[in-house]
Structure 1
Amino acid sequence: MANSFSRFSTAVAEYSGKPVTFVIAVATIALWAIAGPFFGFSETWQLIINTGTTIVTFLMVFVLQNSQNRDGTALQAKLDELILTSGAENRFIGIEKLDDGELKRLSEILKEHAANEDDKALHRKITEAAGRQTKRAGAR
C-alpha cells in the first residue's frame, strides 16, 4: 500500500508541475466563469468551484508532502554518501537533526572560518565544531 501511494504521489506531483496542468486549471476556471451567467451566478454555481478547489487543495497537500519527504530523504542519503566518500568531515552526517539554533551557530562558524583560514585550519575547526554540536544533540 505504501509503495503504491509513493508511486501515485510521485506521478501526481510530476504531472501537476507541468505547464499543461496549469493550462487545464485556467481553462476550468474560465469555463466556470463563462457558465456564471447561464446559472445566474447562483450559490450552486459558486459552490461548485469552491468545493472542487477545496477538495483538490486538501488532497494535494498530502500527495505533495509525500513526494517532498521522499525527495528530501533521497537527497540526504546522497549527501551522506558524498560526505563518506570524500575528504569531508564524517561528523556532519546527521546534523539535520540538530535544532535550528545549533544549525545556525554551526553555519556561522563555518562562514567565519572559511573567510579567514587555510584549508587545514578550517578542516580542524570544522571537525571540532561538528563534534561539539553532535555531542550536544546526542546528550538530549
Structure 2
Amino acid sequence: MASASILSSGKRSLFTRLSQATARWAGKPQTFFIALGAIVLWALSGPFFGFNDTWQLVINTSTTIVTFLMVFIIQNSQNRDTAAMQIKLDELIDKVEHAREELLDLEELDEEDLERIRQEFEALARKARERASRPG
C-alpha cells in the first residue's frame, strides 16, 4: 500500500497537538522540579497565611484540577500510541509469510479468547526452549 493512500494531509487536530505537547512537557524532569518548587513555596507560605482553610484549599484545588486534566491527556496519549503500535504489528503480521492472519484483530476479542491464545503461545515458547536446550 502506498503511504499517500494511507495518510491524510498530516494535519493533526488542535486537541492532538495540545495533548502531545502537554504530555511531552509533563514528562520532563524540569516539570517535576517546577511542581516540587510550587509545593515548597506553598508550604513555606503557610505561616504567613496562618495555615488557614483557604491556604489548604489552594493546594487541594490546584492539584485536583491538574490531576483531573492530566488523566485525559495521558489516556489520549496512551490510546494513540497503542493504536499506532497495533497498526504497525498488524502490518508485520500481514507481511510475514506463514503468519496467522486471524491474529490481526486480537484487541477486539474477549478476555477468555485472549487468555486461550496466550496459553497457546506459552506452550509454543516452552516447546522452543525445550528444543533449544537439547544437546545436538
- Normalization by structure 2: what TM-score? 0.81
TM-aligned CA deviation for residue 56 of structure 1:
0.6
- Return the alpha-carbon distance in structure 2 between the equivalents of residues 32 and 103 of structure 1: 48
Aligned to 1:112: 123
Aligned to 1:81: 91
Aligned to 1:59: 69
Amino acid at match of 2:117: L
- Return the alpha-carbon distance in structure 2 between the equivalents of residues 102 and 95 of structure 1: 9
- Return the alpha-carbon distance in structure 2 between the equivalents of residues 46 and 14 of structure 1: 29
TM-aligned CA deviation for residue 115 of structure 1:
2.0
- Return the alpha-carbon distance in structure 2 between the equivalents of residues 58 and 115 of structure 1: 44
- Return the alpha-carbon distance in structure 1 between the equivalents of residues 89 and 63 of structure 2: 37
TM-aligned CA deviation for residue 8 of structure 1:
0.5
- Return the alpha-carbon distance in structure 2 between the equivalents of residues 104 and 78 of structure 1: 22
| SS of the residue 1:101 aligns to | helix
- Say whether residues 1:93 and 2:110 are aligned partners: no
- Return the alpha-carbon distance in structure 2 between the equivalents of residues 84 and 100 of structure 1: 23
- Normalization by structure 1: what TM-score? 0.79
The structure that is helix-richer by fraction is: 1
- Return the alpha-carbon distance in structure 2 between the equivalents of residues 13 and 20 of structure 1: 13
Amino acid at match of 1:112: A
TM-aligned CA deviation for residue 80 of structure 1:
0.5
Structure 2: tracts of 5 or more residues without a match: 1-11, 129-136
Aligned to 1:10: 20
Aligned-pair Cα RMSD in Å: 1.3
- Return the alpha-carbon distance in structure 1 between the equivalents of residues 124 and 74 of structure 2: 38
Of 11-20 and 59-68, the range deviating more from structure 2: 59-68
Aligned residues: 116
